[in-house]
A and B are shown apart, each in its own frame.
Chain A
Amino acid sequence: MADTIIYAMYDDDDKLVDGAKKLVSNGIHVNEVFSPMPIHGIDDVIGVRHTRLGIAAFLYGLTGLMLATLGMKYFMIDDWMMNIGGKPSFSYLENLPAFIPITFEFTVLCAAHGMAITYFLRNGTLPGMPATNPDPRTTDDRFVMEIRTSENSSHSASDIQALVRSTDFVELDEKTV
């Protein structure tokens, strides 16, 4: 089935949020919002679920912590017990204070980079990827809502457009794919 995409453009973030609220209250599913900056409050209106990247970062950090601990235990205690000033490293716990700085740094390293890589992969933002915003002005001062007829089976394209017209929009565009 041919899918019609309706782009409603606004010149203000608050006007877009008001518009989105109106559409949503009329039972329309807003597929996507493109904006030049984060719009606070839009996530709940259009039903974007809260990201779990924070949890991911915690797990990456935990991984780093474990790797650092296991690594230093192996290097300094098991594989080659270094004898410094006649005081060999008998156990990991006895030497723990010296290992804390690197354990901390490695935890941060893994958490930060693990989260950053996940962020790029989940977003699909990688070097050389094509831009997918519908209008170049959406990275400047325009805010665009994308509504697809395929996800709004109870409304026709003209119904949706009529509703958009009742909001404080500046441009209305339609694309069939």
Chain B
Amino acid sequence: MHRESDIRLPLILGDKTYHQITEDVCRPIENQAPRGWYILISIAAVIALYGVGCILYLIGEGIGTWGLNNTVDWAWDITNFVWWVGIGHAGTLISAVLLLFRQKWRMAVNRSAEAMTIFAVIMAATFPGIHMGRLWVSYWVLPLPNQFGSLWVNFNSPLLWDVFAISTYFSVSLVFWYIGLIPDFATIRDRMTKPLTKKIYGILSFGWSGRAKHWNRFEIVSLVLAGIATPLVFSVHSIVSFDFATSVIPGWHTTIFPPYFVAGAVFSGFAMVQTLMLIVRKVMKLEAYIHTKHIEYMNIVIMVTGSIVGVAYLTELFMAWYSGVEYESYAFLNRATGPYWWAYASMMTCNVISPQLMWFKKLRTSLLFTFIISIVVNIGMWFERFVIIVTSLHRGHLPSTWSMFYPTWVDIGVFIGTLGIFTVLYLLYARYFPVLAISEVKTILKSSGENYKEGFGAGEGYYGADGSHGHGHDDHAHEEEEVVSNKIIEKKPVELSDDELKLNQSTLLERVGSADASQADDLKLISGVGPVLEKTLNSIGIFTFEQVSKMKSEEYNLLDSLTKSFPGRAERDNWASQANDLMNK
């Protein structure tokens, strides 16, 4: 078993058991969605529909409805594309790169970050798609045999590299995400009681049964996919930056672009993960799994990548001056002092100054501050792309062609629309999908769960597979185990006469209070109680959590004498405290 140093903060807070993890993640899926969810999805759906309307109008009328002109022939379309692709970098970085680095904290956020990646890449792909004008022939970007003779796509063009990079990135991320989802869908399938939902999750779970051989393959597939997705993440935004870097436009053709774009992408992606996760953990009550330490780790990534971006900005400025190329110098002077100075100033403030505040521990562990900064960073990163694209184009080598870019309502509508579509997709995901990787989180419970680290509650300290105990908890764990085994021997069912049984039953009910079937709770929610045991309990006269919560060792003994099954189970699983928790939900 993986052991973790005691001085590391636990990644899972509170007294969690395997069952509790399942419960916590499945609760939002099984319960009625809160009213806020319906309000949010309605608003998002209206915005999304408006966006779809704008896209349809654009396709009907043509690209002329955008604010592009002869000089600025590429503006919001590619800005939005790069912005969304950048956001889409955090998910696979978290699940692939951090898997290779064995960063266990990623398990709290990888599922949701990957979902964000997939939706963000869909939004990104929309822009080149509609930019083609004729969406229905978008398959022409593939090298397919055709009726035009030897007409192939140009493999020397970075735009075609982009087609391959984005489609590979999207499909590999999707497969990576889905392979991880399958065991969790199986968990939901096995919990569902309604036939229709059970059927749906049954199809989604591909008949996963958790066999040892399948888990063996699962782990290798995850590892190998992480291994090949890692260079993929870095290649995608490098290739996006080649769209600009291989051109001959001052302000674009710089060799610093690939690393600078990748750092910027991770920077904005993590900011978006923070925005979403801070809401998700609160609304879905997952604070025990995604707590301040996780937020702090992500803030450190934001600080590091933000600093790389800041250094890149300064390097660009230095090179523009040091190169002695006056066109290059002017491009940067114009950025900072020309008519788009406000965009440049926003970019500098949001991207260079705000991440530096993360050096203060107080600030990077403050959730409210993190939330604000995450939004600031996303605004800043949008301006970065706008600055690079528009300010480099609007004043070229020929001053008579100088121009400005003004977005039309279609430009704005399409962009706002993608925000709406993204939100709709994300809300649907949060409602129907397990937002935490249930099976993965279970694997770190014993090494990083607070109860196991501290040796209280359900965790009996470190309990190694070989029967040895981890340091620090030896005596404690050993004692408990001995007591447990003694109990079983002592409590081998003793044959009692019917009268004695009746007496036991009435004493038990006297102590815990009586109830009838009309008040019945779902006792199966208690870990250790199955359908059969529930029936037995009901036949004794125990129906509610309240009754179970009153049990102490004497009551447990009475109960054991009545149920005659698994002596000692109720006490070991601590039914009373479980029932108490369930009652107070």
Chain A residues at the B interface, C-beta cutoff of 8 Å? 11-14, 17-18, 32-43, 46, 48, 50-51, 53-54, 57, 61, 71-72, 75-76, 79-80, 82, 84, 95, 98-99, 101-102, 104-106, 108-109, 111-113, 115-116, 119-120, 122-133, 136-141, 170-171
Q: Which of chain B's residues has its CB closest to A41's CB? A: B465
Q: Answer whether A133 and B209 are a contact pair too, CB < 8 Å, given A79-B150, A119-B217, A125-B182.
A: yes
Set A37, A104, A124, A131: member contacting B205, Cβ < 8 A: A131
Say yes or no: B207 contacts A137, CB within 8 Å: no
Does residue B165 face the partner (Cβ distance < 8 Å to A)?
A: yes
Say yes or no: B155 contacts A14, CB within 8 Å: no
Say yes or no: A36 contacts B175, CB within 8 Å: no
Set A12, A17, A124: member contacting B207, Cβ < 8 A: A124
Say yes or no: A72 contacts B155, CB within 8 Å: yes
With most chain A CB atoms within 10 A of its CB, the pick from B171, B446, B465 is B465
Say yes or no: B22 contacts A141, CB within 8 Å: yes
Does residue B571 face the partner (Cβ distance < 8 Å to A)?
A: no
Say yes or no: B203 contacts A109, CB within 8 Å: no
Say yes or no: B464 contacts A14, CB within 8 Å: yes
* Contact digits for B218-243, partner A, Cβ 8 Å, 1 yes 0 no: 11110111001101100100010010
Say yes or no: B207 contacts A122, CB within 8 Å: no
Say yes or no: B231 contacts A36, CB within 8 Å: no
Q: Which of chain A's residues has its CB closest to B213's CB? A: A48
Say yes or no: A61 contacts B228, CB within 8 Å: yes
Q: Answer whether A80 and B203 are a contact pair too, CB < 8 Å, given A131-B209, A141-B22.
A: no
Q: Which of chain B's residues has its CB closest to A33's CB? A: B212
Q: Which of chain B's residues has its CB closest to A35's CB? A: B210
Set A42, A111, A128: member contacting B228, Cβ < 8 A: A111
Residues of A within 8 A of B155 (CB): 72, 75-76, 98-99, 102
Residues of B within 8 A of A112 (CB): 168, 171-172, 175-176, 225, 228-229
Listed by A's residue number, 29 A-B pairs whose Cβ atoms lie within 8 Å are A32-B211, A37-B18, A37-B443, A40-B465, A46-B212, A48-B216, A53-B217, A53-B220, A54-B223, A57-B228, A76-B152, A79-B152, A104-B235, A105-B161, A108-B228, A108-B232, A111-B228, A115-B221, A116-B175, A130-B207, A131-B208, A136-B190, A136-B191, A137-B190, A139-B210, A140-B187, A140-B191, A141-B18, A170-B528
Residues of A within 8 A of B224 (CB): 53-54, 57, 111, 115
Q: Which of chain B's residues has its CB closest to A129's CB? A: B207
Q: What is the CA–CA distance of A136 and B187 in the complex, to the nearest angstrom?
A: 8
Say yes or no: A141 contacts B17, CB within 8 Å: yes
Say yes or no: B165 contacts A101, CB within 8 Å: yes
Say yes or no: B440 contacts A101, CB within 8 Å: no
Say yes or no: B207 contacts A125, CB within 8 Å: yes
Q: What is the CA–CA distance of A163 and B1 in the complex, to the nearest angstrom?
A: 25
Residues of B within 8 A of A33 (CB): 211-212
Does residue B154 face the partner (Cβ distance < 8 Å to A)?
A: yes
* Contact digits for B161-172, partner A, Cβ 8 Å, 1 yes 0 no: 100110110011
Distance from A75 Cβ to chain B, minimum over Cβ atoms (Å): 4
Residues of B within 8 A of A32 (CB): 211-213
Q: What is the CA–CA distance of A72 and B582 in the complex, to the nearest angstrom?
A: 63
Does residue B37 face the partner (Cβ distance < 8 Å to A)?
A: no
Q: What is the CA–CA distance of A127 and B186 in the complex, to the nearest angstrom?
A: 12
Chain B residues at the A interface, C-beta cutoff of 8 Å? 1-2, 17-19, 22, 143, 150-156, 158, 160-161, 164-165, 167-168, 171-172, 175-176, 179, 182-183, 186-187, 189-191, 202-221, 223-225, 228-229, 231-232, 235, 239, 242, 438-440, 442-443, 446, 463-465, 467, 527-528, 530, 566, 569, 573
Say yes or no: B207 contacts A38, CB within 8 Å: no
Q: What is the CA–CA distance of A13 and B220 in the complex, to the nearest angstrom?
A: 20
Say yes or no: A51 contacts B187, CB within 8 Å: no
Say yes or no: B171 contacts A109, CB within 8 Å: yes
Closest 8 pairs (CB-CB, A-B): A129-B207, A141-B18, A136-B190, A125-B206, A141-B19, A38-B215, A133-B209, A80-B150
Say yes or no: A39 contacts B231, CB within 8 Å: no
Residues of A within 8 A of B446 (CB): 14
Q: What is the CA–CA distance of A169 and B183 in the complex, to the nearest angstrom?
A: 24
Residues of B within 8 A of A18 (CB): 465, 467
Residues of A within 8 A of B467 (CB): 18
Residues of B within 8 A of A122 (CB): 217
Q: Which of chain B's residues has its CB closest to A140's CB? A: B22
Residues of A within 8 A of B183 (CB): 36-37, 139
Distance from B419 Cβ to chain A, minimum over Cβ atoms (Å): 28
- Extra contacts besides A38-B215, A80-B152, A136-B191 (15): CB < 8 Å: A36-B210, A39-B212, A40-B465, A50-B216, A61-B228, A82-B154, A105-B235, A112-B225, A113-B171, A113-B172, A119-B218, A123-B214, A128-B206, A130-B202, A136-B190
Q: Answer whether A171 and B566 are a contact pair too, CB < 8 Å, given A139-B186, A141-B18.
A: yes
Distance from A37 Cβ to chain B, minimum over Cβ atoms (Å): 4
Distance from B467 Cβ to chain A, minimum over Cβ atoms (Å): 6
Q: Which of chain A's residues has its CB closest to B485's CB? A: A168
Q: Answer whether A125 and B203 are a contact pair too, CB < 8 Å, given A36-B18, A113-B171.
A: no
Say yes or no: A141 contacts B439, CB within 8 Å: no
Distance from A131 Cβ to chain B, minimum over Cβ atoms (Å): 5
Distance from B234 Cβ to chain A, minimum over Cβ atoms (Å): 11
Q: What is the CA–CA distance of A111 and B235 in the complex, to the nearest angstrom?
A: 16
Distance from A59 Cβ to chain B, minimum over Cβ atoms (Å): 12
Residues of B within 8 A of A72 (CB): 155
Say yes or no: B242 contacts A131, CB within 8 Å: no
Q: What is the CA–CA distance of A175 and B179 in the complex, to the nearest angstrom?
A: 31
Q: Which of chain B's residues has its CB closest to A30's CB? A: B212
